Amino acid sequence: MTEMTRYKRTDFEEEGSETGSVASVNLSVQDGITFQNPGRTYQTYSCPVFGRGFVTPLEKFLCAIVFGLCSLIMVMVVLMALKDHGHLRVFPDQIDDVERSEFHGGIGPVKSKVCMTEECVTISAEILARMNTSIDPCQDFYQYACGGWLEKNPLPPGKAMWGTFFQVQDKNQLILKYALDTPLEEMKSEAERKAKLYFQSCVDADGKRETIGGAPLIAILDELGGWNVTSDSFNAAGWDFQKTIRLIHNKYYLGGLFRWAVGIDDKNSSKFVIELEQGGLTLPNRDYYLNKSIEGDSTLSALLSYMTEVGVLLGGKRDNVRYQMIEVIKFEQRLAEITMPEDQRRDMEKIYQKMPLRVLKKHAPFVDWVKYFNSAFGLVKQNVDLDTQVVAYDLDYLKKLNGILSGMLSKAERLDKGIVLSNYLMWQVASAMTRVLSQDFRQARKVLAKALLGETESEERWRECVGDTDGTMGFATGAMFVRRAFDESAREKAENMIERIRYAFEKSLKEQNWMDSRTMQAAVEKASAITYMIGYPAFITDPLELDKKYADVNISADDYFQNNIVLGQHALKENLKLLNKPVNKTMWSMTPAQDNAYYASAMNQMVIPAGILQPPFYSPAIPHLPLNYGGIGVVIGHELVHGFDDQGREYDKNGNLHQWWETDAIENFKGKAACFETQYDNYGLNGRQTLGENLADNGGLHAAYRALEHWLREHPEEEHAGQLPGLPLSPRQLFFLGFGQVWCSTATAEADKLTRLNDAHSVSEYRVRGPLSNSKEFASAFRCREGHGMNPKAKCSIW
């Protein structure tokens, strides 16, 4: 239950299975709270006027014409520039020997028909605009593919990160905005109407939220026993830790100290189980706390400013708030010390520990576990007892937490340290709520946002609200999205690609010489058993079924705060209901409008949402085929290979965690994986933390390339068909170019640091450099000299 929960609390978290996605688009600084959703603006992809929300049919028409003309002019400029040369340059690192006119592996002039359809012209113009053709692809492919884009794309206002991926997300948000702006009476279901009301409450056009200020939060803090920081009424002697933690976690579905959810049991994937794991830091990574002093560290002092400001807004006296908040940060530093670093949490076999509550009680008696869990399961009329099984991911954390808390909770220390603990828990509640309160609270967050993500202006409110609506009512928004933006023919095409990529991957598996035949056979069976879901879950197109999903949710158009409480409680109940149900393998862990994808180990399943089945990942136009393989094909390959990365390989074809490989094969795998670890360490990244994603990137690229090769062998006529205007590249070269351009991106130094610290994915640039440096096929397609630049002699490979 890790990856999804780490990023955002949504109603899609209910599966709680181990998932690996193709990209982490959200940067959040706290559980349940999307602090900043980078990648929301309306540059370049569609006509700018579309983004401003005042579009008449005439404007649309004019815009389309202007856009078309712009594309044509761009292409004509390129064509003229190329006229004298007839081909792209050959660079010193490229082998410029024979058969330059041959398509295969050549970059010279090509004897093929140039496709001049509007679609080809547009695609070509977009690709060329991103490139810097003066760069030698063998020397620096990232600059070759993305240099033009990098030059033309400074970070837009409000963004900490920006890139091709985010542009797709921006476009999807625009589609959702228009959908959510549709009049209530035109909505197709009650669920969609609720989503619209929620969106309205977030946008808050009449400013109701501003008049309420912190009142709704103060009411909750009072219910929880009050906050010593802001109120004189806090009674330390009468404070009830057990009750407070139950209410925070199991009534309001907020965080603090640790976290839990119902998820698929890693060792028995047909059943759900209660899963517990570490958690409870305000900042996104333990490294922000360790060996740092509050005065001497800019992030910790920003955190203190944020905390102080919130305390003052809620009625506290500045000096007093500040003094008490320093103690809270020191307490979080102690939590950071016992928090296991992400790179040590990858081996699920090692950190999985299943036990009945009576055993957990022995190890970590700081919580009355039966009472605690029953306060949650009572909501869905179930109950647990001392024999109920739970899985602790890293029991050691809970043991150490118990050590810290037992002192604080003992009577002698209670009045002093107990107040710190209570202050910490109340802070967890307050901090989670600031973003749904009035502008002054949201403003207070910005100090911390700046420290974590760099100087960014606020992005448009509607974008935040679209993101929120999709995050909390994503099946309803998904229904709206697919009606407007999903071409059903994409499903069949994607299925066909999945089958071809799976076939290519299985073929590679059979060619491995480092695996014994039994392990290999089992691995092939696992690859064959991977199921997939494409586009969206079927039920969302049936208004009755969709309405059932949100039947118990009451949304008001003018109470954003309460709506969030209601949706949090709804998400909690949906998750709790799973406990005694059989695992349903058609559950979705991502919203249909997301431009992302994932693989779930416990289900041995990949999911490709509608949101990513569009350019530059996918286009139905035939000349786009090599680009489709480089785009969505690599995404598919990536998700498939997650089943065989350092974590995924521990799960068998039925999604069960156990040792199903021979010991020698495991040792050989580890040796090969170590090569990748060193390679990415040498890029200045955390090679261990990013290992799974790097293996998926490398293996996915390889599998997708081989699938394209098979396709070209079946369709030799396509080698020379439909060349893109101004782009004398072979289909193989286009494949790599398409792949590289998915990752054109830029970020503030702070956001870059956050990605490196926290993300399981490598930073974008190295998601291109890493896999291509290991790819013989790339070197051959661009005729790169061995031992130079992008074609080092030493290559890492597994799949």
Question: Where does this chain bind Zn ion (CB under 5 A)?
Answer: 20, 693, 696
Closest to Zn ion by CB, 180 vs 607, is: 607
Pairing mode, strands 161-163 and 258-265: unpaired
Closest to Zn ion by CB, 431 vs 758, is: 758
Query: Is 454 strand, coil or helix?
Result: coil
Tokens 């113009």 found at:
125
Closest to Zn ion by CB, 571 vs 760, is: 760
* Least gap, CB of 342 to Zn ion (angstroms): 14
| Distance between start and end Cα atoms, the chain | 26
Closest to Zn ion by CB, 20 vs 623, is: 20
Closest to Zn ion by CB, 313 vs 696, is: 696
Tokens of 395: 């029991």
* Least gap, CB of 11 to Zn ion (angstroms): 22
Write down the catalytic residue from 11, 277, 697, 777. 697
Closest to Zn ion by CB, 500 vs 642, is: 642
- The alpha helices in 578-662, defined as continuous H runs, are 625-628, 634-642
Establish whether 697 is a catalytic residue.
yes
Residues 6 or more apart in contact with residue 293 via CB below 8 angstroms: 300
Closest to Zn ion by CB, 559 vs 693, is: 693
**DSSP assignment, residue 233?**
T
* 246 closest CA partner among 219, 274, 225: 225
* Least gap, CB of 640 to Zn ion (angstroms): 10
The one-letter amino acid code at 641 reads V
Closest to Zn ion by CB, 650 vs 693, is: 693
Residue 755: φ, ψ to 5°: -60, -45
Pairing mode, strands 745-747 and 161-163: antiparallel
* Least gap, CB of 510 to Zn ion (angstroms): 24
* Least gap, CB of 489 to Zn ion (angstroms): 26
Query: Is 449 strand, coil or helix?
Result: helix
Closest to Zn ion by CB, 16 vs 20, is: 20
Cα(782)–Cα(136) distance, integer angstroms: 10
Radius of gyration, alpha carbons of the chain: 27
Closest to Zn ion by CB, 189 vs 601, is: 601
Tokens of 674: 């170590």
- In Å, what is the CA distance from 657 to each residue of 266, 271, 648? 5, 13, 9
* Least gap, CB of 641 to Zn ion (angstroms): 9
* 676 closest CA partner among 663, 688, 661: 688
* Least gap, CB of 26 to Zn ion (angstroms): 15
* Least gap, CB of 20 to Zn ion (angstroms): 4
* Least gap, CB of 648 to Zn ion (angstroms): 10
Cα(578)–Cα(574) distance, integer angstroms: 7
Closest to Zn ion by CB, 255 vs 700, is: 700
- In Å, what is the CA distance from 388 to each residue of 265, 273, 391, 718? 13, 9, 10, 60
- Give the CA angle between residues 64, 69, 74 to the nearest 5°: 130
| Residues paired with residue 19 on neighbouring β-strands, in sequence order | 600
* Least gap, CB of 97 to Zn ion (angstroms): 38
Establish whether 470 is a catalytic residue.
no
Tokens of 578: 């799973």
Cα(767)–Cα(700) distance, integer angstroms: 11
Closest to Zn ion by CB, 18 vs 506, is: 18
Cα(524)–Cα(265) distance, integer angstroms: 24
Residues 6 or more apart in contact with residue 85 via CB below 8 angstroms: none
Residues 6 or more apart in contact with residue 137 via CB below 8 angstroms: 91, 94, 144, 145, 782, 784, 790
- Give the CA angle between residues 494, 498, 504 to the nearest 5°: 145
DSSP secondary structure letters along 159-179: -SEEEHHHHHHHHHHHHHHHH
Tokens of 268: 């028995």
Cα(328)–Cα(668) distance, integer angstroms: 47
Residues 6 or more apart in contact with residue 602 via CB below 8 angstroms: 17, 18, 263, 264, 265, 266, 269, 583, 651, 655
Write down the catalytic residue from 639, 646, 677, 693. 639
Cα(416)–Cα(234) distance, integer angstroms: 13
- Please give the helix or strand (H or E) that residue 34 lies within, else none: none
* Least gap, CB of 691 to Zn ion (angstroms): 11
Cα(251)–Cα(90) distance, integer angstroms: 65
Positive or negative CA dihedral for 120, 122, 126, 132?
positive
* Least gap, CB of 760 to Zn ion (angstroms): 7
Cα(778)–Cα(62) distance, integer angstroms: 42
Catalytic residue annotation: 639, 697
